[in-house]
Amino acid sequence: MLRVTDLQKTYPTGDEALKGVTTSVEGSQTVAMIGPSGAGKSTFIRCVNRLTEPSGGEVFLDDTELTALGDDALRSVRRDIGMIFQEYNLVERLTVMENVLTGRLGYISAWQAFRRSFPAEDIERAYEILNRVGLGDMENKRVDELSGGQRQRVGIARAVIQQPKILLVDEPTSSLDPETSNTVMRLLTDIAAEREVPVLINIHEVDLAIEHADRIVGLHDGELVFEGSPSELDQQGLDQVYRGAEVPENADKERTTMDAGTDGEILSDTDRPLAGET
């Protein structure tokens, strides 16, 4: 279970990306986080696994407070957090199989990692997961030969092989066509159910969130302004998320779900590795 309390992020510029967000993700739920560009969606996910350091608040994964961990402990706990990136974060020159197996690097020695020597059970599990994500015949292809949808599936397989306690997914469909986007979302929700792993997805396509998520969380200007089931996300809820909480009842009911941009937060420090990491 992921439990986030009063999560805050203020950048040195004074910009407040998160203003005390409290929510949770548990069981095998798929939770979609929606909101306009700059609402804080990507910052929220990156603060959860501390790719971005929060300014305040608490983040718990089960009984472990992630926000209180030092570098060594955080590096260990990150094995329990599967991260699927918008830009895939794959090693282009390596094969599909090699990229998937990098999800097991936290479980082997530095010497094994240098030699790319993985236990037989890890390799067997990688084949199983590749079959599950529809890439069973592509294990020897280089990643730079794949389509965007295929690369996203490699990223999903890499995260799943970690055997994480939660999957964090940042804009998984932003560069995909509608059919592939639906396939990827369906795959994520199926994996959540099959493996009993909660999934938190930052997504800008509201229609996909409504169709695939069990619960929707809406951010506006760094604040949580909506939380409920897809059926509860009515026009008033959309107006709260995309226009702000105070919306006149007679306001033009223009649907603002077409915002296809990514979050506009300042992320200059987000990819900085921990000390000793490369």
Q: What is the pLDDT of residues 99-130, one digit of tens each?
A: 999 999 988 888 887 788 899 999 999 999 99
How many Cβ atoms are within 10 Å of 273's Cβ, its own excluded? 10
CATH 2.60.120.650 applies to domain 2-243: no
| Segment (H or E) for 168 | strand 166-170
18 — phi, psi (to 5°)? -135, 135
Inter-CA distances, 278 with 19, 99, 106, 121, Å: 32, 16, 13, 26
Per-residue pLDDT of the chain (278 residues; tens, 9 = 90+): 999 999 999 999 999 999 999 999 998 899 999 999 999 999 999 999 999 999 999 999 999 999 999 999 998 899 999 999 888 889 999 999 999 999 999 888 888 877 888 999 999 999 999 999 999 999 999 999 999 999 999 999 999 999 999 999 999 988 889 999 999 999 999 988 998 999 999 999 999 999 999 999 999 999 999 999 999 999 999 999 999 856 445 444 444 443 434 443 433 333 433 434 43
Q: How far apart (Å, rounded) are the C-alpha atoms in residues 207 and 32?
A: 11
Is there a contact between 216 and 229 (Cβ–Cβ < 8 Å)?
Answer: yes
> What stretches of 3-95 show up as alpha helix (H) in DSSP?
41-48, 71-77
The contacts found for 259-263 with CB under 8 angstroms, 24 or more apart, are: 259/36, 259/37, 259/204, 260/174, 260/204, 260/205, 261/37, 261/204, 262/37, 262/42, 262/86, 262/171, 262/174, 262/204, 263/37, 263/38, 263/39, 263/40, 263/41, 263/42, 263/43, 263/202
Q: Are 134 and 153 in contact (CB under 8 A)?
A: yes
Per-domain residue ranges of the chain: 2-243
